[in-house]
């Protein structure tokens, strides 16, 4: 249980559309009801409660902090820093989205245009490097739309096993490979427009090829300077230390949303052994994820602490100005061995 302290006393609150899964709620919500609380109070409380906060996020999938004295990226950075986790700088990731750093820890959420829908995914599950934790904070809520849907991946996988057991077995036994065409320069009009130079931290083709080889990727240069890369086999299902199995991948996002002038979703995903994924099962999984979605309708100052191994996230299209920032922590690595 999260304890309170004299300077600031957040309380657990039941929020609209909050879900119940067994003995857990999703998301777990803590509201700060101290109108005189300062940022220093919030930082001190977060630091004292860091272990319980992270354990709660792991148990429930996500923790929403609302009405805390947070007024921008630097305040959010202070809260995240108080958790005392290793920073995972975005520039060291292999994510395909364009982001803009605000501090060393904090960067903009996906810079794709407002009309673009971003489908459910675990952050960076399509790469060998992924964050254990992802944190979001809202600076400006959209005039309309712009929610961040969240989905409990363990609950989703249980449903997939019940309704599509052969697909579940294929995901567990064969993993996934992802193919992505990276532009020569950042393309902010695409949800997957990060350049190969930025993605790979490379200033030349030789350096890019060296980095891809280190990571086990195959690649092909395009005549327009773009770089097509295919990941090594990666897990589609992860078993957690407590025994829960989660649908830890980017299958839904790749199958439904990896579409721009360079990328065709039908060519973006396959099982690790090269066999095609079952499109009907993927569509069914997409529908089930939507049924399980909790839409986080942002308020300015909100912070969401998400265990990236438990909960998927997405983004609804929106109108008006929307500013949501993010931070990653605790870089993890993943591999998958095919049973040939």
Q: Within this chain, do residues 237 and 110 fall inside the same structural domain, yes or no?
A: no
Residues 6 or more apart whose Cβ sits within 8 Å of residue 312 = 120, 121, 122, 150, 151, 153, 156, 247, 252, 289
Q: Within this chain, do residues 177 and 248 fall inside the same structural domain, yes or no?
A: yes
Residues 6 or more apart whose Cβ sits within 8 Å of residue 56 = 2, 28, 63
Residue 6: predicted pLDDT: 44
- Tell me whether residue 2 is in a domain: no
How many domains does the chain fold into? 2
CA distances from 314 to 79, 80, 121, 211, 311 (A): 23, 21, 7, 29, 10
CA angle 146, 149, 154 (to 5 degrees): 170
- Tell me whether residue 339 is in a domain: no
Q: For every one of its 340 residues, what pLDDT tens digit does the chain have, with 9 covering 90 and above?
A: 554 444 688 999 999 999 999 999 999 999 999 989 999 999 999 999 999 999 999 999 999 999 999 999 999 999 999 999 999 999 999 998 888 899 999 999 877 889 989 999 999 999 999 999 999 999 999 999 999 999 999 999 999 999 999 999 999 999 999 999 999 999 988 888 999 999 999 999 999 999 999 999 999 999 999 999 999 999 999 999 999 999 999 999 999 988 888 998 888 999 999 999 999 999 999 999 999 999 999 999 999 999 999 999 999 999 999 999 999 999 999 999 887 5
Q: Within this chain, do residues 207 and 271 fall inside the same structural domain, yes or no?
A: yes
Q: Within this chain, do residues 101 and 23 fall inside the same structural domain, yes or no?
A: yes
- Tell me whether residue 5 is in a domain: no
- Picking from 270, 288, 306, the residue at the C-terminal end of a domain is 288
Q: Within this chain, do residues 150 and 298 fall inside the same structural domain, yes or no?
A: yes
- Report the run of H or E that residue 207 belongs to, with start and end: helix 205-215
How far apart are alpha carbons 44 and 32 in whole angstroms? 14
Residues 6 or more apart whose Cβ sits within 8 Å of residue 30 = 2, 10, 11, 12, 13, 63, 64, 65, 66
Contact by Cβ (8 Å): 21, 153? no
Residue-number span of the structural domain to which 219 is assigned? 162-288
- Tell me whether residue 243 is in a domain: yes
- Tell me whether residue 6 is in a domain: no
Q: Within this chain, do residues 323 and 198 fall inside the same structural domain, yes or no?
A: no
- Tell me whether residue 246 is in a domain: yes
How far apart are alpha carbons 156 and 321 in whole angstroms? 32
- What are the b/e assignments for 162-172, b being 16+ CB within 10 Å? eebeebbebbb
Residue 220: predicted pLDDT: 97
Q: Within this chain, do residues 127 and 258 fall inside the same structural domain, yes or no?
A: no
Q: Within this chain, do residues 148 and 178 fall inside the same structural domain, yes or no?
A: no
Q: Within this chain, do residues 57 and 150 fall inside the same structural domain, yes or no?
A: yes
Residues 6 or more apart whose Cβ sits within 8 Å of residue 12 = 2, 28, 29, 30
- Tell me whether residue 4 is in a domain: no
Q: Dihedrals φ, ψ of 133, to 5°?
A: -120, 140
- Report the run of H or E that residue 172 belongs to, with start and end: helix 165-174
SS3 label, residue 110: coil
- Tell me whether residue 210 is in a domain: yes
Q: Within this chain, do residues 16 and 102 fall inside the same structural domain, yes or no?
A: yes
Work out whether strand 227-230 and strand 176-182 pair parallel, antiparallel, or are unpaired: antiparallel
**Among all chains, which residue has been given the structure tokens 């790749």?**
254
Q: 165-174 and 279-291 are packed helices; what angle lies between their axes, rounded to 10 degrees?
A: 100
SS3 label, residue 13: coil
Peptide bond into 27 cis (omega under 30): yes
Q: Within this chain, do residues 87 and 124 fall inside the same structural domain, yes or no?
A: yes
Tell me which residue of 25, 289, 22 sits closest to 164, measured CA to CA: 289
Q: Within this chain, do residues 222 and 200 fall inside the same structural domain, yes or no?
A: yes
The CATH number covering residue 300 comes to: 3.60.130.10
Residue 98: predicted pLDDT: 85
Work out whether strand 62-66 and strand 106-108 pair parallel, antiparallel, or are unpaired: unpaired
Q: What is the pTM of this model?
A: 0.94
Tell me which residue of 86, 20, 77, 89 sits closest to 46, measured CA to CA: 77
């Amino acid at each position: 249980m999260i304890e309170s302290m004299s300077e600031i006393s957040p309380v657990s609150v039941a929020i609209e559309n909050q879900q119940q899964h067994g003995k857990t709620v999703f998301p777990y919500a803590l509201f700060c009801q101290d109108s005189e609380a300062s940022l220093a109070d919030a930082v001190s409380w977060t630091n004292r409660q860091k272990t319980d906060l992270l354990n709660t996020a792991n148990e429930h999938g996500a923790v929403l902090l609302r009405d805390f004295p947070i007024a921008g990226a630097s305040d959010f950075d202070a809260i995240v820093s108080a958790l005392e986790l290793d920073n995972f700088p975005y520039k060291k990731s292999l994510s395909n989205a364009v982001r803009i750093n605000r501090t060393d820890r904090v960067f903009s959420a996906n810079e794709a245009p407002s009309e673009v829908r971003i489908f459910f995914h675990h952050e960076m599950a399509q790469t060998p490097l992924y964050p254990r934790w992802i944190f979001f904070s809202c600076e400006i809520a959209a005039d309309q739309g712009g929610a961040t849907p969240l989905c409990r991946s363990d609950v989703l996988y249980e449903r997939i096993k019940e309704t599509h057991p052969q697909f579940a077995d294929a995901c567990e036994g064969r993993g996934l490979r992802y193919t992505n065409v990276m532009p020569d320069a950042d393309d902010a009009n695409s949800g997957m427009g990060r350049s190969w130079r930025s993605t790979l931290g490379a200033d030349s083709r030789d350096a890019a090829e060296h980095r891809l080889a280190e990571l086990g990727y195959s690649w092909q240069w395009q005549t327009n300077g773009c770089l097509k890369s295919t990941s090594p086999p990666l897990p589609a299902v992860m078993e957690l230390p407590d025994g829960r199995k989660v649908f830890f991948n980017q299958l839904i996002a790749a199958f439904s949303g990896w579409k721009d002038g360079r990328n065709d979703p039908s060519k973006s995903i396959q099982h690790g052994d090269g066999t095609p994924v079952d499109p009907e099962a993927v569509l069914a999984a997409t529908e089930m994820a939507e049924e399980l979605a909790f839409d986080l309708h942002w308020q300015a100052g909100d912070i969401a602490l998400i265990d990236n191994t438990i909960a998927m996230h997405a983004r609804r299209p929106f109108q008006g100005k929307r500013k949501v920032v993010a931070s990653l922590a605790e870089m993890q690595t993943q591999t998958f061995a095919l049973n040939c």
